[in-house]
């Protein structure tokens, strides 16, 4: 099992949440303040930044290998759309390392979403 931080359409109520069926919700989580969240084309993109980062709100899930493969496919890790990387979290999960999908394409002209993507 891998801990996976989800922040967009995979969250409960999100359009892709069904991909987490059979996986275990650990609970709400926040990233360390190293990221920005951008509106893409109906979904968000998480980008690590060196300055001006925010703590992003999401959920932490325990995901098995088959679930992880499905998430990798959805996120386009093989085509270079997103990369799955280890990130740090804030308390109460501080010290826990989680996998998160980081957007790899240009964010030029994209709207900054602040600290949370609203699902629904």
List, for residues 11-65, the tens digit of each pLDDT value: 999 999 999 999 999 999 999 999 999 999 889 999 999 999 999 999 999 999 9
For residue 44, is it left (φ>0), alpha (ψ between -120 and 50) or beta? beta
- Confirm whether 75 is a catalytic residue: yes
Judged against a pLDDT cut of 90, whether residue 120 lies above it is answered with: no
User: Taking all residues of the chain, what is their mean pLDDT, rounded to a whole number?
Assistant: 94
Confidence of residue 107 (pLDDT cuts 50, 70, 90): very high
* Number of neighbouring beta carbons within 10 Å of residue 117: 22
- Position 92 scores a pLDDT of 83
What architecture does CATH give domain 2-103?
Roll (3.10)
Q: What is the pLDDT of residue 106?
A: 95
**Amino acid 46: pLDDT:** 98
Dist. CA 109–CA 120, nearest whole Å? 24
Question: Encoding tokens for residue 25?
Answer: 């919700």
> What pLDDT, on the 0 to 100 scale, is given for residue 10?
97
Q: Looking at residue 34, what is its pLDDT?
A: 96
Distances (CA, A) of 34 to 1, 38, 64, 87, 92: 25, 14, 26, 9, 17
- Residues 34, 39, 73, 75: which is the catalytic one? 75
Nearest residue to 4 (alpha-carbon basis) of 19, 80, 48? 19
| pLDDT on residue 26 | 94
Query: Mean pLDDT lowest for which of 26-35, 75-84, 86-95?
Result: 86-95
């Amino acid at each position: 099992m891998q801990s996976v931080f989800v922040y967009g359409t995979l969250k409960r109520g999100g359009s892709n949440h069904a991909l987490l069926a059979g996986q275990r919700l650990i609970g709400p989580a926040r990233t360390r303040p190293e990221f920005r969240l951008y509106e893409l084309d109906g979904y968000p993109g998480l980008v690590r930044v060196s300055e001006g980062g925010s703590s992003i709100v999401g959920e932490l899930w325990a995901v098995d290998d088959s679930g992880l493969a499905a998430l990798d496919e959805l996120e386009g890790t093989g085509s270079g759309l997103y990369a799955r990387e280890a990130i740090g979290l804030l308390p109460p999960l501080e010290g826990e390392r989680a996998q998160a999908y980081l957007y790899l394409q240009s964010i030029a002209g994209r709207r900054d979403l602040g600290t949370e993507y609203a699902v629904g």
